[in-house]
């Protein structure tokens, strides 16, 4: 009787763990996206974080934010070529917004992913 109860408890714990795991993985990936699109979106998000950190470093040394071309010229950033995303920047005196715009065919991929000086990332 004790072994049966232990086995049933084990099955319940594994089931609950599996349910939680599935729920967590679904929040990381857009619904309906192909695995390759999910990988690309993760890469784009990492690119936005590195560009934003480069902007913050540049602001600390120069007292202003830089364009993407200025960051590239100063070797502050090296951006991987993403086939379906292009990067742009909106620079102000005390603000910046880095924008990744989607130009691919996946209808479930975010069309724009942005990050600003507060390191707030938004997907549209």
d(CA 119, CA 106): 26
Q: What is the pLDDT of residue 34?
A: 73
* 96 in the same domain as 61: yes
* 103 in the same domain as 42: yes
* 67 in the same domain as 106: yes
Domain span including residue 87: 33-123
* 99 in the same domain as 113: yes
Residue 44, both tokens: 């784009």
* 110 in the same domain as 69: yes
* 39 in the same domain as 22: no
pTM for the predicted model, two decimal places:
0.73
* 83 in the same domain as 43: yes
The per-residue pLDDT string of the chain (124 residues; one tens digit each, 9 = 90 and over) reads 678 888 888 899 998 888 887 766 555 555 556 777 888 888 999 999 999 999 999 999 999 999 999 998 988 888 878 889 999 999 998 999 999 999 988 888 889 999 999 999 998 8
Q: Is the dihedral of CA 74, 75, 78, 81 positive or negative?
A: positive
d(CA 88, CA 27): 27
Domain count along the chain:
2
Distance of CA 34 to the CA centre of its chain: 16
């Amino acid at each position: 009787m004790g072994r049966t109860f232990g086995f049933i408890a084990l099955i319940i714990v594994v089931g609950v763990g599996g349910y939680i795991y599935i729920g967590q993985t679904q929040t990381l990936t857009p619904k309906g996206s192909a695995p390759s699109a999910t990988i690309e979106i993760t890469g784009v998000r990492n690119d936005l974080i590195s560009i934003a950190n480069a902007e913050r470093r540049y602001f600390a040394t120069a007292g202003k934010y830089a364009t993407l071309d200025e960051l590239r010229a100063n070797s502050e950033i090296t951006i991987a070529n993403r086939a379906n995303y292009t990067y742009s920047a909106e620079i102000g005196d005390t603000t910046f917004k880095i924008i990744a715009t989607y130009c691919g065919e996946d209808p479930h991929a975010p069309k724009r992913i942005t990050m600003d000086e507060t390191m707030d990332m938004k997907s549209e």
